[in-house]
Structure formats: C-alpha cells, structure tokens
Structure 1
C-alpha cells in the first residue's frame, strides 16, 4: 500500500513511524530538529491520517507498506525509527527486509504481546457522537467521562477533523477496532534476526519496555543497546524532546 507521506530536509534518509491513533504530523518538532542533517520521511500508517483504509493490520503488511513508500520516494535504504505501534512496524521491516534498514531505533515498545489496555480509548472514540456543530470542547468533555487524562484526550482529538461537517476521524476506527488483537501482539518472521545496529529507548516513567523484555530484543537484534529517556513516559519524544534527541542523534551519526 502506498502511504501518504511528508518529508523535509536533505541528507541520509530517516523514516519516522508514529504510534496507534497518531499520524506523521506527530513528529513535527523532531522532524524540524533533524531536517538540517537528514532527509526525514514521516508517513501516515494505514488506517491513519491521509493513508488508505484496509482490514489487514498485521505487521508484515504494514512493513511492506513502508518498503513500498520508500520505493516511491526513491529511498533504497534508510535509518528507521518507530514509536509504540510504529516501533513494531519498524522491527518487522528490519526483520523482513534487513537490506532496507541502515539502523533501527525502537521507541518505548517491545517485541511482545501487550494487554488490551488501549481498547477503552477505541470504545470512547467510537462512542463520540459526531454531529454538525460539535466543538473540540464538547468532544473533550465527552471523552473525559472515560479518559481522565487531559494529555491523552488532546492527543486523540488531533485526529478529529473539526473543519468537516459533521466532524470526522482521520482514522479507520472500524478497521483498527477489529484488528486490536493483532496490533497488541508481535509475531516475528520465523528464524529472522536483524544484525544491524539497534537502539531501544524507554521512557523513565513508562512501563512499556521492562528489563524482562531485553532477552526478547536480544534474540531478534543481537547488536541492540538500551537507553532510558529521563523525565518522560510513553510519549517520550513529545514529553522530553531534548532528552530524546540527545540519545538519538549520536546513534544516528555513529
């Protein structure tokens, strides 16, 4: 699948992959910081943003999307960074197409199955009544009944087009809801490993990457190293951009 993709800058190619319910625009600040030295591509993953909708959400299919989108951009090989679900897509790409990945960065996700903790967000978004005249304030108040964290509500509402009449999600919610068991899991290609350099970044206040996950990384990525981003939770690149870049840029430049 050809993905909607924006890019900025010139230099070695760097692909940034967003997480569930996000879009390429989530990387705006990081993209601006890196564009002076890299050609930064920020695609919308399938069922997100302006990219097409599809029932399949397995990581092999999403990795193939990235390879096809790189082909369309004339990029044979790139450093690839993925956050959360995008980190699983990045890992799947490196394992299935190691020749396409110069080096790999995985931000706050592990190659394991996670519990269904995000399905409540899905239910809340699907239950939001999208009527003409709906305001951001009204939508936020409706979501607050089940999502108490203001930051998470603000993140989710970035994908609601209030300029449409009535407002509409920039997400394939039906497709994503049906695929949640697949999204929560991670099944690598049998016997596959990626021998390139890998950096795994975890937020200091996040529980997504735990010490017990390190063995799963090492089995698939023998050259993996780990870093902790201080003063950050799961959205480490937006919660502490300077700390995120301080760990990322030396790895990319090495």
Structure 2
C-alpha cells in the first residue's frame, strides 16, 4: 500500500490501470467514516482500460492523521496526492462527503477537473427541524451509538442486517476525534450559491431512499448546475455498497457521453 505524507497525515492510496488508457484518470473519493474500498467494484471495472486512483482520507481506513475543521482542507489532501502522482486533470467521483470535496476542488481549481460525479452528495447541509433535533441529540449519546445511529440510517429498508452491522463496526473504528471534527466540517459546508460556476459535465446520482441527504436537496442543487445529468437509483445513501453494479453502469454511460 503506497502512502504519501501530507501535513502530518500518511495518506494510503491505490493507483491502478494503464497510464496510456482511455481518457484522463478517474479519482474516487469516499465519504465520512468510510474508506477507499467503497469503490472496489468501480476500481475492478475501470482499471482494465484506464488509470484509476483512490485514497483513504486522513484518519480513515489505512491512513493516519487527525480530523480537520473544513472540507477545503480535505480537498487540499486530494490535490497533494494528484500533484504527487503527476495528474494534471481528472474525472472526480465523490460519495457523500467525498462529493463535497470534489465540488470544492472543481470550484477552486476548475482546470484540474474534466468531469464531476456526485454520488449521494449535496452542496449545502440542510436539516428539517425534526432531523436537526435528532442529529443534535445523537451527539450527546455514547460515540459508538452515535456512529451506529448514523450508519444504520444510511441504508435502504431491506438491506441485510448483518452487512449493516459490519459497516457500523468498521465506521466505529474511525477515531472519534476524526469523526466528530469532520461531522462539524460537513455541517458547515455550503457552496450552493456557487455551483452555477461549475462548467464541466456533471452526473448527480442519488438513492431514492436516501434519508441522510434526501433527494429533494440534491434536486435543489441540480437546478443550479448548467450541465448536469440526474440519475435516481433504488437505494439508500450507501449507493456504492447497495447497488455497485448499477453505479458502475451509470458511470460508464456518463463517461461515454460526447
């Protein structure tokens, strides 16, 4: 597992596929409390014909490092990795918090992004009064219960319970300081008034049963995008886990667009 030292963190990453393959590299960015293996299906599929890169964000998976207070600092980590790998331009694919990172890079460094794919992600964290009270209350309970509450809500009804429990356990292994600091970073994230500046082709793909970041919030964001394709899939928030093949097919079709 190669690693890159960036501002006190050792970032673990994978860099696979032919350097002279089809198109610019694909860069996959996972979400909060997850790791780079969320993208196993997409990596296996796309690495056969093009360069694909993924990383564990600081404090997640096999990467070390403390939490940071802003999404922009996570975006700087991703850019540092791309610089290290001599990737000047890429297709960014981000899930949830990873989509927030991808939007930040696209807005601040548009020359680095050829296309943008947001999977279960939004441009502004918005809570209904009821959900806001629930989330505020969840921070007062023991850490493992806080994580379990949030991860269990991420899956659509009917997803196998034993798999949900396994993902709860993996998420709870993420250090508390990292989880809570980045929770605050996501709550503060807001680029909704800027997404109209994004000029690259964009795919917004969302789970119909996503209650973490509801479809209506994504559709509100979609109206501001000048060149966005919207896909709704029969899944919850954890699309890369719940419907990996459908996600891969949607990505393939989007990349084939002229």
Give TM-score scaled by structure 1 length: 0.78
Name the structure 1 match of 2:57: 45
1:74 maps onto 2:80 in alignment:
no
* Aligned residue runs from structure 1 range 73-222, under 5 A: 73-115=85-127, 120=138, 124-126=142-144, 150-158=162-170, 169=173, 171-188=174-191, 193-207=197-211, 208-219=213-224, 221-222=225-226
Q: Residue in 1 aligned with 2:157?
A: none
CA distance in 1, matches of 2:167, 2:75: 24
| Number of equivalent positions | 228
Confirm or deny that 1:21 pairs with 2:33: yes
The unaligned stretches of length 5 or more in structure 1 are 129-142, 161-168
**Contact in 2 for aligned 1:108/1:202 (Cα 8 Å):** yes
Deviation at 1:151, TM superposition (A): 3.5
* Structure 2: segments with no counterpart, 5+ residues: 1-5, 154-160
Residues 23, 45 of structure 1: 8 Å contact kept: yes
Cα distance change of structure 1 residues 6 and 121 upon mapping to structure 2, 3 Å threshold: farther
How far, CA to CA, are the matches of 2:182 and 2:140 in structure 1?
A: 11
Cα deviation digits, residues 20-67 of structure 1 (max 9, x gap): 111112211221011112211111112212223234241111111111
Give the match's secondary structure for 2:54: strand
- Superposed CA offset, 1:78-122 (max 9, x none): 101011111111111111111111100000121111446668499
Distance in 1 separating the partners of 2:99 and 2:141: 24
Task: Decide whether aligned partners of structure 1 residues 180 and 241 sit closer, same or farther in structure 2, where only a CA change above 3 A counts.
Answer: closer
SS state at 2:122 partner: coil
Aligned partner of 1:132 in structure 2 is none
Q: Contact 1:114–1:185 (CA<8 Å) still a contact in 2?
A: no
Contact (CA 8 Å) 1:18, 1:44: kept in 2 or not?
A: yes
Q: 1:251 to 1:191 in 2, by over 3 A?
A: closer
Hey, what's the Cα distance between the residues in 2 that align with 1:215 and 1:202?
13
Q: Indicate which of 3, 10, 13 corresponds to 1:5.
A: 13
The 1:248–1:102 alpha-carbon spacing in structure 2 relative to 1, beyond 3 Å, is same
- Structure 1 runs (4+) deviating above 3 angstroms are 114-128, 146-152, 189-192
Output the CA distance in 1 between the equivalents of 2:141 and 2:121.
Answer: 22
* CA distance in structure 1 between the partners assigned to 2:219 and 2:198 by the alignment: 15
RMSD: 2.9
Deviations 1:3-33 (A, max 9, x none): 3211221233001111111111221122101
| Greater Cα shift, 113-122 or 22-31 | 113-122
